[in-house]
Structure 1
Amino acid sequence: MYLNVHSQYSLRYGTMSIPALVEEAISSGVTQMVLSDINNSTGIMEFMRECNEKGIKPIAGMEFRKAKQLLYLGIARNKEGMKELNDFLTEHNLEQKPLPDTAPEFLNVYTVYPYGKHHGSLKTNEYLGIRHEQLNSLFGKDLRNIKEKLLCLQPVFINDKIEYRLHEYLRGIDLNVVLTEVTEADKCQKTDRFFPAGELEARFSRYPFILDNTRNLMNSCVMDYPKGRVNLNRRTFTGYKKNDRELLEKLALAGMEYRYGRSNKQALTKIKHELKVIYELDFCAYFLITWDIIRYSGSQGYYHVGRGSGANSIVAYCLKITDVDPIELDLYFERFLNAQRTSPPDFDIDYSWDEREDVQDYIFKRYGSQHTALLGTMSTFKDRSIIREIGKVMGLPKTEIDGFTDQTRAAINQNNTTFQKIVAIYERMANMPNQRSIHAGGVLITEEPITYYTALDLPPKGMATVQWDMYEAEKIGFDKYDILSQRGIGHIKMAVKLVEENQQRKIDIHQVKDFMNDPKVNFNLRTGNTKGCFYIESPAMIQLNRKLGCDSYRVLVAASSIIRPGVASSGMMAEYIRNHHHPDKVKYLHPVMEERLKDTYGVMVYQEDVIKICIHFAGMDGADADILRRGMSGKYRSKKEFERLVERFHEEAKKLGRPDHIVKEVWRQVSSFAGYSFSKAHSASFAVESYQSLYLKTYFPREFMVGVLNNYGGFYDRALYVQELQKCGGIVHLPCVNHSDSLVNISGADVYLGLVGIHGLNERFIELVPEERRTNGPYTGLEDLVKRTNIGLEQGIILIRVGALRFTHKSKKELLWEIHLLMGARTKPGNINTELFTIDAKNYALPVLVNTRLENAYHELELLGFPLSMTMFELLQTGYRGDIMANDLINHIGQTIRMVGQYVCEKTVHTKKNQRMWFGNFLDAEGNSFDTVHFPNHTPMYPFRGKGCYLILGKVVEEFGFASLEVLRFAKLPILPNPVIS
């Protein structure tokens, strides 16, 4: 009798998860019910799976609300009815129009209006839902006209009194008000729950026809969806499977000739083997659609990187989906595709951040809006954010809430009664869905219209998005195409373009094998000259490559994976480095480790290595090994699954007679990968892009660093990349209205910072100032700039203070006088070209007004985030620059020395005793990097005090030839005071 049941997917309203909802229904004797979440169908497919498993008949529906008011319910009679409901909501979401007060004429949907809220005649499929509290209003009325239209309406939002209180907090969070301001109209009723078996029927006993009507309506609904996971993806590319197969084979063989030449028997054998597996698993369409996407993007001149396990496939390599040669690296195809797989593997295709949306738009237009959608995601209430939200609803002051979220006050907070109350609510709210969002790059391409399975949202991105996440999509039967973006590709794309413009040289950035064999490129890799380069620029990666002496593609592929937390935290990173330097002294745990992992010196580095060991050392089957692999990739982080695999691993290894102590150590290494590590193909893809970046940095460093700056991506902030530009001979100029564009530009060795980097400058003027200059010539002075752009006083002052009008040869102070005299009291821009005649401004005699370098440096700190007129070291009050420089550290191992370093970045980690320690990275006065280690016993709670220079006392330590500073004492140095303030 429950037509109006809600789950947690009625966001910030319902309190029960789908499994909890079904369990509560069973305990209340419910045999069939309608899930009708508010303005969404997120939970419908999960609801049907759960009900089918537990023996309850599921019925799909939706509750439509506008401005907190219930308009009507839609109850699907069948699968077509669910599509009608989803189409109806989708239309209003995508066109951003309000829901109508009356429902449309559905064909396969029952519409239920709340009793008392609908006036006029009801259509055949329309009913009135009456709550048990409203039954008294029927007394003495002539019901003949509506007798067959009355239904039992008992909403379900909560489970018990405690959940009602939780519901009130959720409503407060949703409405952004304190608890006392949540009105009765804002929340459900305390009785909006399942009743004990028979009680609801008893409340309607005086009107048995209402129960009959309700029962009959529910009995007529059949959710005729297939049970269990089925393949719902687009099934063919050409329209016929036979044609797909023939086309894929033709493309693969043509690609083989491009990649390997005509007579490579090894490649041909491998291609034929892969094609056979692809045919048998019916994945031809998946490969062809991915190829089609790559073909389109290539036709537009877009550069992509194909990564992930897809790079294990020679067919993918021949289709130009990836640039990783699986023969060269002896990649493990079965990691990508094997007979145990029921769903297609992932291809991760990266594009430049400014090209991805066009690729997505092509997919929508090519495969149709009814069959294409972006993948959604569900953000949940988490950690400190919940505490803040609960605290606000309770009406607590910000300072008190800040105290509750301060981890250093954890011991004090435990005894605070208010905090204990927050924790009690937190424990019930944790991980509840909070809001729907958009996946990083997943796209679905379906065989049937996608609204059979979900309504669609229109997030800010502007493309239709499903209402559930990748995990739910996979359970239903949808597999995503990952169309991703990253700034690293933007760096490469722009650098290639700048080299062509600035040096008139064309670069084929895909000649990666030449880059890999270039001694200058490999020298920079080995010595850590990699700032700005994709994946190899962080202090940790630079340190690792220097410890390895990394100077080849194969070693970099391994380094890209052993930097991951799973390998590093297990101690296997250090083991790998040690063995890499002394391969003749490697001691293998077991002959199987030597046989299967000789290339990595007996160390499990990649996901494939773990699979190999599970199969060949422990005797596990391929299916369990793949489940373990999926757990490592983060797709199934299930503790229960890992516990089962631990038991199976040990049992099967014992059957093979493996020694207990060796089994224990091998499992320790295997389990350390849980949730971390890369596939070898993924690491290889990253290494290809790293080499492309590093080639550009090696031979065209100025253009490359400009590309990095203009793509606003990278590990470091802009100041460091500007310093890198200066180190490689770039003459970096402050922004100038007569030379700068919106972005950084380069001409020869001269580099002008872009207007976009000026804090506080309006976007309009960032584009208008250079556009007007290109159209009508350089500006002659401040007055000319004001007249031609109609810039206001505030924005004009910003340009003056940053030095963008220095071409006038007037000091900033003179220009500030001039702009105030020119504009008078007018502070805002007016209409452009309002003067009929040019009138010369009055000239005034001013005293000599000069700006000092120190004043300029402070202006730049404020408006750019870093000084260009002076270095951070020149700003120090002290002239002391330390006992030694970074390049001399290796000659002072074991000594305690003092250094002065400019802060670059820090990383916080936790020790085995759960104490915090830090790794720091600094520049010395010569611009060279050095690393610091801050152990808990020598480190205050918050050792870093932001940007600036620090005096560091520490002991020089060395590991694998890499020197760093183990910090004993540490303090930020004062800088010269701002002369304007002082």
Structure 2
Amino acid sequence: MQPRRSIPRARQLRVASTDAEQTLWRRLRNRQLCGYKFRRQVPITAYIVDFLCLDPPLIVELDGGQHLEHALQDDQRAHFLEANGYRVIRFWNDVVLTRMDEVLAEILRQLELHPHPNPLPPAGEGEMAQTTHRIAYAELHCLSNFSFLRGASSALELFERAARLGYRALAITDECSLAGIVRALEASRQTGVALIVGCEVRGEDGLRVVLLVENQIGYQNLCALITRARRRAIKGRYRLQREDLLVNGGLLCLWLADAEPSPVDAHWLREHFEGRLWLAVELHRGARDAKRLAQQLAFCAEHAIPAVASGDVHMHARSRRCLQDTLTAIRHRTRIHEAGALLFPNGERHLRNLDALAAIHPRALLDETLRIAGRCRFKLDSLSYRYPQELVPEGETPISHLRALTHAGASLRWREGVPDSARAQIEHELHLIEKLNYEAFFLTVHDIVRFARSRDILCQGRGSSANSIVCYCLHVTEVDPRRVSMLFERFISAERDEPPDIDVDFEHERREEVIQYIYAKYGRERAALAATVIAYRNRSALRDVGKALGLDADQIEELSRCLGPYEDNAVLGERLRERGFDPDAAVIRQLIALVRQLIGMPRHLSQHVGGFVISGEPLASLVPIENAAMPERSIIQWDKDDLETMRLLKVDCLALGMLTCIRKCLHLLRDSGRRDLTLADIAATDRADDASARQTYDMICRADTIGVFQIESRAQMAMLPRLKPRCYYDLVIQVAIVRPGPIQGDMVHPYLLRRKNPDAVVYPSAELEPVLKRTLGVPLFQEQVMQLAITAAGFSPGEADELRRGMAAWKRRGGIEYFHERFVSGMLRKNYPLEFAEALFNQLRGFGSYGFPESHAASFALITWFSCWLKCHEPAAFACALLNSQPLGFYAPSQIIQDARRHGITVHPVDVRSSTWDSLLEPCAHDAQPAIRLGFREIRGMPQAAADAIVQARTQAAFRDVEDLARRAQLDRHALARLAEADALRGLSGHRHRASWQVAGVEKQLPLLADAASMEEAVRLRPPSARETMLADYASTGFSLGPHPLALVRAQLKARRCISARELAGSEHSRPVRVAGLVTLRQRPQTAGGVTFVTLEDESGLFNVVVWQAIAERQRRILLEARLLGVHGRLECVDGVQHVIAERLLDHSALLDELDTRSRDFR
């Protein structure tokens, strides 16, 4: 058929379209599919295609007899169309009618695939498709998703599409930010598209420009400009003044003028950016594009300013338009349907194919982009970095000073004489540290630790730095290298040539002292915290998208319950129906699609938990600095991964609550006169002939570990009776074995079996025995992966660390095959069987992505030992310190107090006559252990200032009554009410009801009446009942020292045939049981295959419930919402560990009335 005859035929086909065509057209017309424009029944030479998208070129065909040619000609037809630049996909009619969502998803997927090499220009309906020659182009104005809530695509998505489209270069110009520029650098390396560094800024006077970096000076000036603008404003904002643009050497300027450019701005910009100024012409198929272009070109000619094409790109592809609209609504805190002019009028702000750009821009404007790109010669990876040198005494070098400190520390560590092996290792490490120029870094870390210890702040290094004997000698780490097998290359490797990572834990309540010391020593110009990128997760994405779509708060809350942790998409529809939503409703489909696109996208920058970057020069010459949310803190705009890519050194000053707890415990013991202990004293007890150590390990093997460090979770407690730790290295293994790595690698059960009969362990070869012997032939640690590669496959230490890193990332990035071939071939050269080599590599790969460092476990095991010893031998002081260090760990104060009382510790309630803010130890006449007096901190909503005022007033004289307390401590109604509700006034009032009455009558006294006594007579009120007391206790403190809530409903539970935790402990394996308890903890580890673990508490103890995925999905609402959970199931007892395997869940919360209990879920 001739082309001219095809047009009438196409019109006939539109009229006679099938049901499937009409149904699909209703979903494609008017750019409904993410902004893509489709036409139907379009003639292309002799052919008529069903649906055509021109940008990118895609043809959608439906099979059903509507084609002009016979079915046998389909291949010839498709070949012709693809040869002319089109991609063709085909669907059956019945698929369109019955599975529309899948059809639309596939069309979207195809639109995102690589375009063909000859993308077509836009054409009017009925016009013949043509191809044009390619042009060259560089995009100079592009926002990534690090222009938070503006850019809708990642740098990698942008660069991949730019590469497919043939762009020569891509400028990432996020708004007043370089937060995403390192990711852009990595994307540039992957795709080969040149990166231009820049940013878009808007001045307070409305002037908008894009600044592009031409050279090193320009980069430094851009960082300084962003820093000035950001430091001038609160976190997340910036204030740019026109004067900030005056220091602009090495920067090229693209003026983003208004529709009618200002001659005044033109004169100012031309004066200050002479030879470096262009007017950006940005055309997006608007109705006035032609007029706008003519006006801008005329203005440029009049004012002698060159023009250049740019795209104002906000997304890599048109399919992101819906998401970009949603981000705009979120940013402006409005609904999409009310956003109006805030939204872009179309989806043209994406990376368009070159012919589409040529159709709307004069060729000269496109060519100008290449000239500008050619001037931007700055390479981000050329930045240099120097560490501060001021810690080096005059007359010494950094390495000589570090060597002196190391040898002095070694003499303290080995008072009987430093072993030759230790001396050799010290010299090996110092040589490598000097070679890589890290001496000043080690001196800085030593200085920070020295400061902390001088202030009696507990601290300890952990992570890979525990592999370093230099760190041990500097007292940065505390792991004796004689107790573990060190591998220094896990920490520093000349072959890897990447900066070392030193993590130091400090007491969480005193870490701020350390942070402010660093700021004071180096200044906020040379020291700043690294950033953390806060990305959207399920609930945050759903909340923001839901608001943008106009859902109310109750609907969003209900929907959020459908998107729990580790959501299984297969059951999402069922969850939605359970909550009363129609999963097929358009708004729900749109919501879920947008949420899934948004998850993982950055939302804003926050501060890293403690990663400090310190520089010899002002940091703002390397990376912009902005204010943190916390006062007196500033952060750089790069996160820890960016720092690693850019080879900037970072020291992590982290907060660890258990160190706070241990220090407070030691102080409680000293201040109460029980004993004066140090951590060295406790560490010295860990030997086979020490009775206190045997008692401590007995406690550990019983899984009596609530509140201790690392081995307090229910999974760890279930493992303890099976592993039965009896020495320090057993604790190292215990800390590491309940982790995803060993579980994924199926190494837990083999290891436990070998512990039962270690003499039967057979090693693969004599050379591998030293590597595997400490873990009975089962590799559990990352260091063992490296040692196996070195010993069995001939890797160098640096290559072995690359293997470890590759395995850690292979699930996300791939690229493991190189190591696989290298590993197997290396083992074959050493005469290992192929089957063994393959099996070993697969086993290592299974756990490599989650493998735990031995050095990390060894550091943690020390703190585990300290906390276990204190819990075993000073349980009252340890429990008291735990309460004073909250929030901390898995257990709330309620469980800590219940555990202490089960161990025979007397716990006294909060009392204004004797309590302080923290809990205290009090003598207990009839017990070897002191009693715990709870502190005011346990009362919800109680201000610490009010508590301190009570203590201060009490030092002068005892309180006579409530009015005397209120007058002398100057307490307001709020504080008095909190005290009355918590029954902290019982010593002055008698009971809760009377206290509340008296508080209601108290007037805050004026100074003139300060000594006046109240004349109000006591009112006779009945004391509260046991149930009222329990409810009020939980409402005010979250726990009760009276009867446990379940003791009050035990009769009702017995009527339901529920047994207690005590009765459960005496039951046999496989027995059907019914239990009920308060939910204290819910967990669903990623490695558990959808299984949920629940910890329940009753008046006699705790017990564990295992809920398989099928039951969890079927009874999800009860599982997640019940406060008093009933379980019908079967008791499982293995190696002394009990679990109830749930078969049915019941919500008995109604028995608790309004009891306020709170669980700690999915920690």
Q: Normalising by structure 1, what TM-score? A: 0.89
Cα distance 1:232–1:349, how it changes in 2: closer, same or farther (>3 A)? same
Contact 2:1047 2:1099 in 1 (8 A): no
- 1:503 and 2:503 are equivalent in the alignment: no
State the match for 2:980 in structure 1: 800
Bigger mean CA offset, 344-353 vs 331-340: 331-340
Contact 1:702 1:729 in 2 (8 A): no
Q: CA deviation at 1:374?
A: 0.9
Q: CA deviation at 1:784?
A: 1.9
Partner Cα distance (2:874, 2:849) in 1: 38
Partner Cα distance (2:1044, 2:481) in 1: 48
Matches within 5 A, 1:469-548: 469-503=639-673, 505-517=675-687, 518-548=693-723
Partner Cα distance (1:148, 1:239) in 2: 56
Equivalent of 2:496 in 341, 344, 347: 341
Equivalent of 1:96 in 227, 233, 239: 233
- 1:755 and 2:936 are equivalent in the alignment: yes
Partner Cα distance (1:366, 1:473) in 2: 22
- The gaps in structure 1 that reach 5 residues or longer are 824-829
Q: CA RMSD in A?
A: 3.7
Cα distance 1:886–1:259, how it changes in 2: closer, same or farther (>3 A)? farther
**Number of paired residues?**
965
Cα distance 1:309–1:241, how it changes in 2: closer, same or farther (>3 A)? farther
Bigger mean CA offset, 130-139 vs 601-610: 130-139
State the match for 2:573 in structure 1: 410
State the match for 1:641 in structure 2: 815
Deviations 1:755-808 (A, max 9, x none): 22222334553444334434x433321222333345444543332121111112
State the match for 1:702 in structure 2: 876
Equivalent of 1:243 in 397, 401, 410: 397
Q: CA deviation at 1:37?
A: 1.4
State the match for 2:331 in structure 1: 174
One-letter code of the match for 2:336? L
- The gaps in structure 2 that reach 5 residues or longer are 1-137, 283-288, 688-692, 924-929, 1157-1163
- 1:853 and 2:1010 are equivalent in the alignment: no
- 1:288 and 2:461 are equivalent in the alignment: no
Cα distance 1:921–1:978, how it changes in 2: closer, same or farther (>3 A)? closer
Cα distance 1:136–1:918, how it changes in 2: closer, same or farther (>3 A)? closer
Partner Cα distance (1:809, 1:31) in 2: 81
Contact 1:633 1:678 in 2 (8 A): no
Partner Cα distance (1:63, 1:380) in 2: 22
State the match for 1:106 in structure 2: 247
State the match for 1:40 in structure 2: 177
- 1:258 and 2:408 are equivalent in the alignment: no
State the match for 2:1040 in structure 1: 867
Deviations 1:367-414 (A, max 9, x none): 343332211122223345434433332223456553483565435676
Partner Cα distance (1:247, 1:222) in 2: 40
Partner Cα distance (1:181, 1:592) in 2: 71
Matches within 5 A, 1:771-810: 771-774=952-955, 776-810=956-990
Contact 2:531 2:639 in 1 (8 A): yes
Partner Cα distance (1:894, 1:198) in 2: 72
Deviations 1:407-434 (A, max 9, x none): 6543567655444434443454443322
Partner Cα distance (2:196, 2:1091) in 1: 54
- 1:64 and 2:238 are equivalent in the alignment: no
Q: CA deviation at 1:752?
A: 2.5
Equivalent of 2:272 in 116, 120, 124: 124
Partner Cα distance (2:593, 2:958) in 1: 66
Bigger mean CA offset, 303-312 vs 543-552: 543-552
Deviations 1:636-684 (A, max 9, x none): 7634123443444445445555444433432332122133232211111
State the match for 1:769 in structure 2: 950
Cα distance 1:254–1:761, how it changes in 2: closer, same or farther (>3 A)? closer
Equivalent of 1:663 in 828, 832, 837: 837
Cα distance 1:80–1:768, how it changes in 2: closer, same or farther (>3 A)? farther
State the match for 1:827 in structure 2: none
Q: Secondary structure at the match of 2:669?
A: helix
Matches within 5 A, 1:270-309: 270-309=425-464
One-letter code of the match for 1:907? Q
Cα distance 1:800–1:512, how it changes in 2: closer, same or farther (>3 A)? closer
State the match for 1:734 in structure 2: 909
Q: Secondary structure at the match of 2:1084?
A: strand
Deviations 1:473-499 (A, max 9, x none): 111121321111111101101111111
State the match for 2:622 in structure 1: 453
One-letter code of the match for 2:496? R
Cα distance 1:980–1:419, how it changes in 2: closer, same or farther (>3 A)? closer
Contact 1:24 1:194 in 2 (8 A): yes
Deviations 1:44-76 (A, max 9, x none): 344456557766654432222368966433344
Contact 2:625 2:637 in 1 (8 A): yes
Bigger mean CA offset, 278-287 vs 636-645: 636-645
Partner Cα distance (1:219, 1:172) in 2: 37
Cα distance 1:100–1:793, how it changes in 2: closer, same or farther (>3 A)? same
State the match for 2:885 in structure 1: 711
Bigger mean CA offset, 436-445 vs 279-288: 279-288
Partner Cα distance (2:300, 2:814) in 1: 60
Deviations 1:535-584 (A, max 9, x none): 12222222322212212101111111111122134332122122112112
Partner Cα distance (1:158, 1:77) in 2: 25
Partner Cα distance (2:418, 2:878) in 1: 39
Partner Cα distance (1:604, 1:188) in 2: 59
Deviations 1:843-900 (A, max 9, x none): 3474452222322111001111112122234222418597686598478445556666
State the match for 2:1135 in structure 1: 960
Matches within 5 A, 1:805-824: 805-823=985-1003
Cα distance 1:50–1:332, how it changes in 2: closer, same or farther (>3 A)? closer
- 1:19 and 2:148 are equivalent in the alignment: no
Cα distance 1:355–1:23, how it changes in 2: closer, same or farther (>3 A)? same
Bigger mean CA offset, 260-269 vs 876-885: 876-885
Cα distance 1:812–1:890, how it changes in 2: closer, same or farther (>3 A)? closer
Identity of aligned residues (%): 23
Bigger mean CA offset, 537-546 vs 378-387: 378-387
Contact 1:156 1:193 in 2 (8 A): yes
Contact 2:177 2:624 in 1 (8 A): yes
Q: CA deviation at 1:502?
A: 1.0
State the match for 1:607 in structure 2: 782
State the match for 2:76 in structure 1: none
Q: CA deviation at 1:316?
A: 1.3
Partner Cα distance (2:1042, 2:220) in 1: 64
- 1:395 and 2:550 are equivalent in the alignment: yes
Cα distance 1:344–1:30, how it changes in 2: closer, same or farther (>3 A)? closer
Q: CA deviation at 1:918?
A: 3.5
Partner Cα distance (1:315, 1:723) in 2: 44
Partner Cα distance (1:562, 1:682) in 2: 12
One-letter code of the match for 1:458? N
Q: CA deviation at 1:288?
A: 1.9
State the match for 2:90 in structure 1: none
Partner Cα distance (1:937, 1:92) in 2: 54
Partner Cα distance (1:938, 1:211) in 2: 61
- 1:378 and 2:533 are equivalent in the alignment: yes
Q: CA deviation at 1:685?
A: 0.6
- 1:434 and 2:603 are equivalent in the alignment: yes
Q: Secondary structure at the match of 1:878?
A: helix
